[in-house]
Chains A and B, each alone.
Chain A
Amino acid sequence: MKKEWPLWEVFIRSKSGLHHKHVGSLHAADAEMAIEHARDVYTRRNEGVSIWVVESKYITASDPADADPLFEPAKDKVYRHPTFYNLPDEVKHM
């Protein structure tokens, strides 16, 4: 019985102190192989110090069609931004 190797999403930390960032995907039989393949295709030029892989089917994504209602609550809260506040010019750094 032929079966396609599952799809994995690859996340790379480019150097210590930075977040892992999504770089792409690949097929592999299991997690170990996914990490080895990710090393071979996504870090050939020292792009990483750490790799995460997760099988694509385990990622839940928000629906772009619902983006408006989903992100709406943040839209009318300008007072969350520092520029909302009027302070006297004498206050130089705050």
Chain B
Amino acid sequence: MQTHDLEKNFQQKIDAEVKIEPKDWMPDAYRKNLIRQISQHAHSEVVGMLPEGNWITRAPSLRRKLILMAKVQDEAGHGLYLYSAAETLGAGRDDLVMDLLNGKAKYSSIFNYPTLTWADIGAIGWLVDGAAIMNQVMLTRTSYGPYARAMVRICKEESFHQRQGYEIMLTLAKGSPEQKAMAQDALDRWWWPSLMMFGPHDSESTHSEQSMKWKIKRKSNDELRQAFVDATVPQAELIGLKVPDPDLKWNEKRGHYDFGEINWNEFWNVVKGRGPCNKQRLDARRNAWENGAWVREAAMAYAEKKAARRMKQAGEEAA
């Protein structure tokens, strides 16, 4: 078949909601686009463990500590599911990791903000996981089979993440005036970065149009952001916290909340590596990679030695 026919065939499958599987023919640009998006998503899960890991040793109770550890472990698993999905497209795991470590690949900018108080752990679960869920629920229906299946698994695990975060905020909001102030402060700091998680406006987004045509994405950045605002504002009100946006107002006619403009200057600064924790996050990942090198090598050497011993034994028994 000619490339032109293959491409037509491919788009017909997409239009007919037939999933694309690893060995199926696909345009190079579809493959590249997916590897970029899936690996970026995987890096975000992995780097996302750092701000929360920061509070494991200082969680206020054993219950909270166990929950936080379980959540952070889940995020490691999410990273793995996603790296595996990217590998089905022919990307090598180590190459993907190297792209992160040398700054070539991006991860979600939200993780370049610091976790200053315990309330930040609540705000992250509630807002950051909440925003991620909006995106990930959409991606359970993405056109590439392994990515969609990874997302189904991830979404099942995510729902406790958001609930535990909201429960932390609820507990603080019902606590002493200091605790309530702490919860409000965390909301004040995490609200806008959470809205930025959905990316630039549709009109500015470079990958959006093609991704929609290929059904990698099924909703636009602005649609998802609106859905998040609509879902989250009532949750803040319910626990007596105030969303830090003077322009936030219910719009009866639209049936949605109107909200203020994001500080795009800040957004692009953090994307370009000038956020408060970019360097710290990458340094932590580089250290983990370098300090773990001898473990990876020793495990491989041990596995090879065991395999050789088994071969020799089998040989002796046969003789």
Contacts and interface: CB of A to CB of B under 8 A. Distances in A.
B23 interface: yes
Contacts of A4: 92-94
Contacts of B70: 44
A66 to B, nearest CB: 11
B24 interface: yes
A31 B150 CA distance: 23
Interface residues on B, range: 20 to 34
Interface string B81-98: 100100100001110000
Contact of A27 (B25, B76, B93): B93
Contacts of B302: 29
B24 A64 contact: yes
Contact of B150 (A2, A24, A64): A24
B74 A26 contact: no
A5 B84 contact: no
A44 B74 contact: yes
Nearest to A42: B77
Given A63-B23, A64-B21, A30 B84 contact: no
A54 interface: no
Contacts of B157: 44-45
Contacts of A40: 73, 77
A76 B177 CA distance: 75
B212 interface: no
Interface string A1-40: 0111101000000000000000011110110010000001
A41 interface: yes
B299 A29 contact: yes
Contacts, number: 53
Nearest to A37: B80
B199 to A, nearest CB: 27
B24 A5 contact: no
Nearest to A4: B94
A26 B303 contact: no
Given A2-B297, A5-B299, A30-B303, A64 B23 contact: yes
A5 B300 contact: yes
A61 B306 CA distance: 29
- Among A3, A24, A33, A63, find the residue whose CB has the most chain B CB atoms closer than 10 A: A24
Interface in B92-114: 92-94
Contact of A41 (B23, B77, B94, B297): B77
Contact of B23 (A2, A29, A44, A61): A61
A65 interface: yes
A63 B24 CA distance: 8
A64 B13 CA distance: 13
B281 to A, nearest CB: 23
A30 B87 contact: no
B296 interface: yes
Interface string B102-133: 00000000000000000000000000000000
B269 to A, nearest CB: 35
B150 A5 contact: no
A44 B299 contact: no
Interface of B: 21, 23-25, 70, 73-74, 76-77, 80-81, 84, 87, 92-94, 149-150, 153, 157, 293, 296-297, 299-300, 302-303, 306-307
8 contacts: A2-B293, A2-B297, A4-B94, A24-B80, A29-B302, A41-B81, A44-B73, A64-B21
Interface of A: 2-5, 7, 24-27, 29-30, 33, 40-41, 44-45, 61, 63-65
Given A4-B94, A24-B150, A27-B93, 5 more contacts: A24-B80, A30-B307, A41-B80, A41-B81, A44-B157
